[in-house]
Chain A
Amino acid sequence: MTAVIHASDLTKVFGKSTAVDHISFDVRQGEIFGFLGPNGAGKTTTTRMLTGVIPPDDGSATVLGYDIRSEPVQAKQRFGVVPETSNAYTDLTAWQNLMLMGELYGVARAQAARRSSELLTVLGLIDRRDQKVQAYSKGMKQRLILAMALLHEPKLLFLDEPTSGLDVQSTQMILAMLRDMNRDGTTIFLTTHNMEDANRLCHRVGIIRNGRMVAIDAPEKLKTAIDRVHTIEVSFDREVAGDALAALPGVTGVKRIGDKWQLTAEKQDAVILSLAAFSQQNHAAIVTLNTLAPSLDDAFLRLTREGSP
């Protein structure tokens, strides 16, 4: 699959501190790529280098086939950026902000007007189009910023914490729009702290820690990769002996939690088969049976904690 973003040894140094330390990764065409990391890990700096806002001190990046250092205008023409904090002109109306974007991206006026109307309608701002942005709520400003980034119909969209601190309505509206856009072929580079958003939206996630990329994979693979030992939670309709459960093939540990038993095993499918057989032999019907996979939160915490001072 074609790489829409190709970062190679990207590095940024601020004084004595290396904010981004030789990171390399690809973002594939048509995917939603989640870029995760704790505060100060280098997420925003990486995004700003990729969007041509600040130059890297070392390494290179191509975005949509254009070198972001030598052909920044060509690259920027084809992607949109939604920063974490709204940066629309607050003394202009939403409509004026969108028309300005149209001019800055070379979109014909009639087309910009048509597209602006569409976007403001979808994002629920059409009735406030002639109001100055300073009177907007945070959610409305963020929706406007999204509209401004989409006016020129970009092939790639960079978003930095797009739903941070937003109300449920704005969050759902933005996430739904991102899904629709991705379905229509837009590649999305999403920087977020929100594991739930990343888990639900992203095809792959990259985790950065202390300026270095520590993992890149699909969320489900990352979750399973961090734990080789699986946990299975089971409860029966009658009391069973813990020793009997511990003796089942493949079970490496047993723990009582309330009315349930928590079993650990290296191969969870073998243990589930054993439990079914145990249930039949002991006439103890299984009431609940859950496999407890680590969450993306667990994966994130584990990966960003390892090796930390």
Chain B
Amino acid sequence: MNPAGLPEQLRRAWAIAKKDIRLYYAKNSVLVFGILMPVFLFLAFFTGSRQLPLAFLIPGLVGTALLFTATAISPAIFSWEGRHGTLERLASCPVTTEAIVLGDMIASILYGIGITLITVFIGLALGLSLLHGITMIVSILLAACCFSAIGMLLAVPPTSEPSTPMMLSLLIKFPLIFISGIFIPLEQMPGWGLVLAVFSPLTYFTDLVRYSFIETHYFPVLIDISALALFTLVFTAGTMYLHKRTMPKRL
């Protein structure tokens, strides 16, 4: 066994993910909050903008759910663990910083996917049909990775105060919702809004979900998937690199 080898580090990242799920995600309050937050946002827009059809808004609900859940807990895990000394425990174990970050990402990916699937079923229960199931699965997987990497990027500033990354997280998540064609169709956005939308990964995910449900989309599917994959790659590499640099400052 080579403890520094990739297979062994992946196994250890999975152990960290299981620990995260047990400690931070598998709690009733977290699960309920994960579902309620996007549902309430959806209801607010649904009741406030009656001119938009349900078939347009449900993909927005799916997109918001995945963004909120995949970034719900992960930004604060490093701060919590730093405060309780358990991060030092992990740092003294034979696991790389990348494996610790990957473990945290895997937990948030699984949590994000789990909650998002519930919103997909809500859509189906409300009468939508899943026309492109494979596209839906691929886009949820990619977007979950991408959003969990965003969550971990928000955890980069070394602080032992969990409220700091959570506040930063809210400051980024809410503007993303408004520029990503969630509740305002991209076609109706002003030019500057469209420019901003291009830089939001949520735009491409929502576009893909809309395509999967109702076959309408703004960007070609291949562009959506490629953009999402590129964002995932850049954010994941960025978060690994930055955490490796800031880890000693946390300890």
Contact = CB atoms under 8 A, between A and B. Distances in A.
A124 B191 CA distance: 69
Contacts of A167: none
- Interface size for chain B: under 10, 10 to 19, 20 to 34, or 35 or more residues? 20 to 34
Contacts of B95: 73, 104
A284 B238 CA distance: 86
B117 interface: no
A153 B94 CA distance: 14
A271 interface: no
Contact of B3 (A77, A88, A90, A92): A77
B85 A85 contact: yes
Given A73-B95, A104-B94, A48 B84 contact: no
A76 B84 contact: no
A13 to B, nearest CB: 13
Contacts of B23: 89, 91-92
- Interface size for chain A: under 10, 10 to 19, 20 to 34, or 35 or more residues? 20 to 34
A52 B91 contact: yes
A87 B84 contact: yes
A103 B16 CA distance: 9
Contacts of B29: none
Interface in B17-38: 18-19, 22-23
Contact of A103 (B3, B15, B88, B92): B15
Contacts of B1: 106
A148 B90 CA distance: 12
B94 A76 contact: yes
A41 B197 CA distance: 55
Nearest to A96: B22
Nearest to B248: A54
Interface stretch (B4-12, B58-66, B120-128): B4-12
B159 interface: no
Contact of A76 (B9, B16, B93): B93
B50 interface: no
Contacts of A71: 4
Interface string A32-61: 000000000000000010011111000000
B11 A103 contact: yes
Contacts of B246: none
Nearest to A145: B89
B86 A89 contact: yes
A71 B96 CA distance: 10
Contacts of A74: 3-4, 94
Interface in B84-108: 84-86, 88-96
A100 B22 CA distance: 11
B22 A92 contact: yes
Contact of B15 (A76, A83, A104): A104
A90 B251 CA distance: 19
B93 A87 contact: no
Contact of B94 (A53, A73, A91): A73
21 contacts: A52-B91, A53-B251, A73-B4, A74-B3, A76-B3, A77-B94, A83-B89, A85-B85, A87-B85, A87-B88, A88-B89, A89-B19, A90-B84, A92-B19, A104-B12, A104-B16, A104-B90, A104-B93, A104-B95, A106-B8, A148-B89
* 10 closest residue pairs by CB, A with B: A103-B15, A87-B85, A73-B4, A76-B94, A77-B94, A77-B3, A81-B92, A87-B89, A104-B93, A73-B94
